Structures are given as C-alpha cells and as structure tokens.
Amino acid sequence: MAFIGICISLFGFAGAAQAADITLRNQGTGSGEVRYSDNGGASWTNQTLSAGQSVPITVLDGSNVDFDLVNADPNSSFAGWSGDGAAGTPPVDWTLSAVAGGEIVNATFELKKSFTLTIQKPWGPCVYRGYGG
C-alpha cells in the first residue's frame, strides 16, 4: 500500500477556534480512496471517491490537514492532486492562508483504458481482455 500525499496548512486569525470548510473531490472518471488528518496524523479518516464525487470536510481553522492516497480501484489509476495553491502529483505541499472556506482539493482518479486483443491462429482465435495504464 503506497501513501502519497499533500499537506494543507490552514492559518486562522487570532481568537476563538473556527471551522474551515474544504471540499475534497474527484474530477476524473475513475474511483479510489484517499485519507486525511487534521491533527498531525494522530488519526486518519478514509474517504472513497467515485467519479465526479465531491465531499465536504470541516476542520478547525488554523489546523494542518494532510491528504494521502490510499489506493485506486483495480480499473482506475491515480492521476494526481490539484486545487487551490498548487497542482501535480505528490509530494505536493500546499499552504493556504486566511481560510475563508471554499478551498478545494482534487484527488483525480481516471479509468484505465480497456482493450481486447484477438490473435488468429490456425486452430482458432485467442482472445485476451485487459486494462492498460
């Protein structure tokens, strides 16, 4: 199991702790699972993301939020992270300041391309079906 991740640092204003809302979404056609922690990795929450799904995450303003890839579904591949502040494949660290809510973290999973290979032999066809990266 590979853990690939990003970190979002949420810096709040002085005063009482307030909630900060982050949207975790999958912009791709595949599906997979990520995890996140807003308490330095002491505990993690796993989140499965289907194609096009968005999930609201509420954390305390001023906390650090770590996101890691858990795995892609067998017919999907992980395409990378993107969103407010940075883009690309991990490791990517994001720092968001003055969180006002509405920040977006994209964990994009794409379906693997499927194919069928038929080899014609004198004794009949041999068919192979599989998935490519």
| Cα–Cα distance for residue pair 64/59, rounded to 1 Å | 9
Res 27: pLDDT: 92
Name residue 8's beta-bridge partners.
65, 94
Res 96: pLDDT: 45
Res 11: pLDDT: 46
Digit-coded pLDDT (tens) for 36-84? 777 666 678 889 999 999 999 887 777 777 778 888 999 999 888 887 7
Structure tokens, 108: 């994009």
| Cα–Cα distance for residue pair 133/128, rounded to 1 Å | 16
To the question of pTM greater than 0.75 for the whole model, the response is: no
Digit-coded pLDDT (tens) for 89-130? 554 444 444 455 678 888 899 999 877 777 777 777 777 676
Could you tell me the residue ranges of all domains in the chain? Answer: 4-132
Res 87: pLDDT: 56
